[in-house]
Amino acid sequence: MALSGIQIYKLLPQTNCKECGFPTCLAFAMKLAAKQVELSSCPYVSEDSQQQLAESAAPPIRLVALKAGGYEVKAGNETVLFRHDKTFYNKPGLFIQVNAADGDIAKKVAAADAYSVTYVGLEFTVDGFAILADGDLGAAVKAVRSASKRPLILIGDPAALEPGLQACQGETPLLHAADPSNWETMADLAKKYQAALVVKADTLDELADLTQKIQARGVEDMVLDPVPAASPLSQSLAAYVQLRRMALKANFRPLGYPIISFPAATGDPVRESLFAAQAIAKYGGFVVLSEFKPELLYALLVLRENIYTDPQKPIQVQPGVYEINNPTPESPVLVTTNFSITYFAVANEIEGSGLPAWLVVADAEGMSVLTAWAAGKFDAERIAKSIKEFDVASKVSRKRVVLPGHVAVLSGELEEELPDWEIKVGPREAVDIPAFYKQVLT
């Protein structure tokens, strides 16, 4: 059973040394009970206490990391069922499946590995590749490695997997899969090559039994495959949620591992997209797609980013002055906040119009215009400070600054802060900026 915060506190040194980052040992104990810190943060806990606290110190869902060529994909270590309770930490890895028997495997991998798209200032790429051992897996791994250094999932029976493991020594791949018929051999392979291991069974009871046996055999890093191939969406959702609840609410260690999903099991592309989206939301740790489809991958990457963004820490862009469409000294200066969605809404409208402008992004702690204004983080003083700090005056010959329409009330104050500037109030919505520009600023 997990210990309460008070029970943990009694086992700590109670010196309030603050070296753990918390003001008191009691505060640290409460965080430890909530699975929000690690016991190793306390430098003075005794060995006896460490043994007693091992269960409370361990994360409810084990962290499993796949590593290769400087890349790392992590899953696990989650502490909540819903992101609004706190946040989700480790984004599910999106892997592209290739077959060892494919003659053009290196070409397919190279195309997927090169994929990169920018969304609200973030760069999205694939996370790794899953290789199905329907041919020479050792040769397939070498072919993949000629085109990509990203982490691997190796899929096949024990005999087929070993050549692939020999070809990627020094890495941490994921092996799929140990089941009731082969778990001993698969566990030995995972232990020998220091790989993580997928455990597969038809029921959660069988799954829990297998993880305990495999752990006793010396393998700690496991990933769960809890539903048969081509299961209905409802069945996979129920299984994933039950696994998460068992790990977090019941602290049931045999099921406290990340989950792997294979959305393409039926070969239906529509179902694959739905299954993949569901797995990202609830609660896949590794998601294997049937092939590289940029249109599907982009949608899933955006969905993943939205779900795994900390709701208490909005995505921000770097404050500064941005040049859009090669502005000249005659071009106007527009102002907005550093909330990424606000910035890209404004920047995209200006860029799409083809009209040149200087865009000053003020530091509003990642808040939107109205939210920042209401919180006192986007006022005339801050706007003026940003314009001066970024030396915008040296870039323009005609000093015109355009305020967002939602904060028109700041125009008078900004005139006092910037007496040499012409202050204009722009539209409330970014979509209206091009028309405003043509009517008022040209």
The full set of domains in the chain, from first to last, is 5-57 (1.10.15.40), 64-307 (3.20.20.20), 320-441 (3.40.50.11600)
2 has a pLDDT exceeding 70: no
| CA–CA distance, 304 with 291 (Å, rounded to integer) | 18
1 has a pLDDT exceeding 70: no
265 has a pLDDT exceeding 80: no
Question: SS3 breakdown of the chain: % helix, strand, coil, rounded to 5?
Answer: 40, 20, 40
What is the three-class DSSP state of 142? helix
- Give me the pLDDT at residue 211, please: 97
| CA–CA distance, 109 with 414 (Å, rounded to integer) | 54
Start-to-end Cα distance in the chain: 71
434 has a pLDDT exceeding 90: yes
What would the pLDDT profile of 27-75 be if each residue is shown by its tens digit?
998 888 776 777 878 889 888 888 777 766 677 899 999 999 999 999 9
For residues 212-238, average pLDDT: 93
| CA–CA distance, 294 with 297 (Å, rounded to integer) | 5
User: Residue 358's beta-bridge partner residues?
Assistant: 323, 333
Strands (DSSP E) found in 311-437 = 320-324, 333-337, 357-362, 400-403, 422-425
3-state helix/strand/coil string of 213-245: HHHHCCCCCEEEECCCCCCCHHHHHHHHHHHHH
Query: What is the identity of the amino acid at 229?
Result: A
What would the pLDDT profile of 93-130 be if each residue is shown by its tens digit?
999 999 999 989 999 999 999 999 987 778 999 999 99
Mean pLDDT of the chain: 92
